[in-house]
Amino acid sequence: MNFTLHIWRQKNAKAQGRFESYKVENISAECSFLEMLDILNEQLINDNISHPVCFDNDCREGICGMCGLYINGRPHGNDEGVTTCQLHMRRFKDGDEIWIEPWRAKAFPVIRDLVVDRTAFDKIIQAGGYISTTTGGVPDANAIPIAKHKADQAMDAAACIGCGACVAACKNASAMLFVGAKVSHLALLPQGQVEAADRVKKMVCKMDELGFGSCTNTYACEAECPKQIKRQNISRLNRQWLASAFGRDRKN
């Protein structure tokens, strides 16, 4: 398979960016999207054409959340429920033109080419996405009765890998789905109740401070999330926020 790639190239956060076009040939349909970029970079190095294209990746198994490319107008490309590293070239047609961009968000400044700084997510987690109270050892924690539907909801929310696709998909660059997932998976469990009010206040305030936009309920975040995190987590986040603001008992 042969493709024409239009890739965003940008030397650093302050430099003027632009699209540059490259051709790759004889790409296997079973090749992953990142493997295809590896082949392009090898070609650029061997032919001494330009600096290799910079992009984030780590596990290449859809677990770490490092990979994040805007491909043909969609975060992670045109497959459902997958990260960029799980996207395969069989999802494209021979001869296709493919446009590849970095995440576009004020809170995710470009470092170089397709690499953006997503430490804003780390700062939100540092603000309150943890449990610091004594919960006992693992056997003690496992002995706490938890309704199955609550446990299932908590596990579904905890599946968020923090890739940032929700922010990239949102017209306002909102992080509500990410924060909602992180608040939800702790708020739904007994161990997370002690600090629930402080947690949601700190995480939402940090989200606003870092320049993420507001949620206007278009649900593009849910549609593009590779782990299919549900928008109900945003509703739970709002309920938690209101309850903490007015000092009322929380209902998850």
Q: Is residue 252 part of a domain?
A: no
Cβ neighbour number for residue 207 with a 10 Å cutoff: 23
Over 70: is that where the pLDDT of 157 sits?
yes
Q: Is residue 251 part of a domain?
A: no
Mean pLDDT of 3-32: 96
Which amino acid, 56?
A: D
Which of 78-87, 143-152, 236-245 shows the highest mean pLDDT?
Answer: 78-87
The per-residue pLDDT for 179 is: 97
Mean pLDDT of 72-85: 95
The per-residue pLDDT for 248 is: 58
- For the segment 109-156, what is each residue's pLDDT rounded down to a tens digit? 999 999 999 999 999 999 999 988 776 777 776 777 889 999 999 999
CATH number of residue 129's parent domain: 1.10.1060.10
Identify whether residues 95 and 135 lie together within a single domain: no
Identify whether residues 87 and 146 lie together within a single domain: no
What are the start-end ranges of the E strands in 77-232? 97-101, 110-112, 115-116
Over 90: is that where the pLDDT of 219 sits?
yes
Over 80: is that where the pLDDT of 252 sits?
no
Domain region containing 75? 3-112
Identify whether residues 96 and 154 lie together within a single domain: no
Q: Helices H, strands E: what count in the chain?
A: 9, 7
Which pair of structure tokens corresponds to residue 156? 């579904």
Please, are residues 87 and 30 in contact by the beta-carbon 8 Å criterion? no
Please, are residues 229 and 222 in contact by the beta-carbon 8 Å criterion? yes
Identify whether residues 23 and 129 lie together within a single domain: no
Rounded CA gap, 133 and 106, in Å? 34
Identify whether residues 39 and 85 lie together within a single domain: yes
Q: Which of 49, 77, 112 is the last residue of a domain?
A: 112
The per-residue pLDDT for 143 is: 79
Domains held by the chain: number? 2
- For the segment 20-51, what is each residue's pLDDT rounded down to a tens digit? 999 999 999 999 999 999 999 999 999 988 89
Identify whether residues 143 and 105 lie together within a single domain: no
